[in-house]
Chain A
């Protein structure tokens, strides 16, 4: 099974900050990686698929990069609505999620 490791687990940031979250796969998954945002009591929301393709309606301050085993999600200028938990997901073979990164107010 493919394991996904996210870092950091928690990130403290301020509005306007540039934020980067890293996800590592236990084996190569090419670009079969997605990123989700989840707020308390809500279902996850797809932000990015195929490692770097922005889902429709998602603000351009979100971007994704990487291939193989190393991936990053970047938020260029953190907005108040962006405080949430973010998950990566490998879609190479069925599915595995990372453990999540909570972006909290500094």
Chain B
């Protein structure tokens, strides 16, 4: 079964750091681009990071310089290192797989999400 499982969400103080993990099964992450999308409480979806099959990363302006996406091919997992966290980073963070091996594509597989709360 093709599946994504996120972990690592927690309560963290402003200025702190957190590392989210997304474990893939049923496919190889080296074949597709992978993404992180977040959703603040009661708000819409916001794309924040992607990593291509060639390991090229891109981050939204809202997290650039603070968040870093990476992957471990041996573990078939992607990660999101989140530094200098702010209250406005509070959200559910979803990992998502692109459907086809194109430059950009729709996301056909999503994880269940992991909650990050930034508060003192």
Contacts and interface: CB of A to CB of B under 8 A. Distances in A.
Contacts, number: 57
A71 interface: no
**Interface-central residue, A32, A38, A55, A91, by most chain B CB under 10 Å:** A91
A101 B94 CA distance: 20
Given A43-B113, A95-B47, A99-B44, A55 B104 contact: no
Interface string A67-106: 0000000000000000000010101111111111000000
Contact of B46 (A32, A38, A46, A97): A97
Interface string B80-120: 00000000000000100001000011111011110000000
Interface string B60-91: 01000000000000000000000000000000
Contacts of B106: 34, 46, 49-50, 89, 91
B50 interface: yes
B9 to A, nearest CB: 14
B58 interface: yes
Given A94-B58, A95-B50, A46 B107 contact: yes
A4 B112 CA distance: 25
A8 interface: no
B11 interface: no
A55 B44 contact: no
Interface residues of A, number: 24
A89 B108 CA distance: 12
B111 A43 contact: yes
Contacts of B46: 97
Contacts of A32: 104
Given A46-B99, A49-B99, A96 B47 contact: yes
Chain A to chain B: the 7 pairs with minimum beta-carbon distance, closest first: A34-B106, A43-B110, A49-B106, A95-B47, A97-B45, A100-B44, A91-B104
16 contacts: A1-B61, A32-B104, A34-B107, A36-B107, A43-B112, A46-B106, A46-B107, A46-B108, A49-B105, A89-B106, A94-B58, A95-B37, A95-B47, A96-B47, A97-B47, A98-B44
